[in-house]
Amino acid sequence: MNSCPVEYSLQILKNKWTILIIRELLKTELRFNELKKKLNTISTKVLTENLRFLEFKNIILRNEIIGKVTNVYYSLSDIGFSLKPVLDALANWGIEQMKKNKKVTMNCDKFQ
């Protein structure tokens, strides 16, 4: 059992895709294909694996709306929304480092 809180956090936010999925879901709930389009270079397999992992960890919710066609939407749970200050801090740190290193800032939305 791991007793280090930083390591525990990193086990959940294990790769760039988990963080970018959370970033997109902070804005609004999304269907799978909408999320895939926003993440651009993610493969279907990797997106599926990360969504299942985040759902298992109670970071996201999978909402099925059954009708003539079943629609599945992904949204953040309360635990997922609690990561907003963490992602805001990462974004602010990145902005400062980009300024110091004279990097052009990307057209990237701040977390809402």
- List the domain boundaries for the chain: 5-100
How high is the pLDDT of residue 79?
97
| Cα distance between the two ends of the chain | 34
* Tens digits of residue pLDDT in 18-27: 999 999 999 9
- For residue 61, CA distances in Å to 2, 40, 89 come to 26, 22, 24
- The matching CATH number, chosen from 3.90.700.10, 2.60.40.1190, 1.10.3720.10, 1.10.10.10, for 5-100 is 1.10.10.10
* Pairing assessment for the beta strands 60-65 and 30-31 based on DSSP bridges: unpaired
Which 3-state string (H, E, C) describes 32-58? HHHHHHHHCCCCHHHHHHHHHHHHHCC
Residues of the chain with pLDDT under 70: 1-2, 103-112
pLDDT value, residue 2: 65
CA-CA-CA-CA torsion sign (88, 90, 92, 95): negative
Q: What pTM was computed for the model?
A: 0.85
Q: What pLDDT score does 112 carry?
A: 47
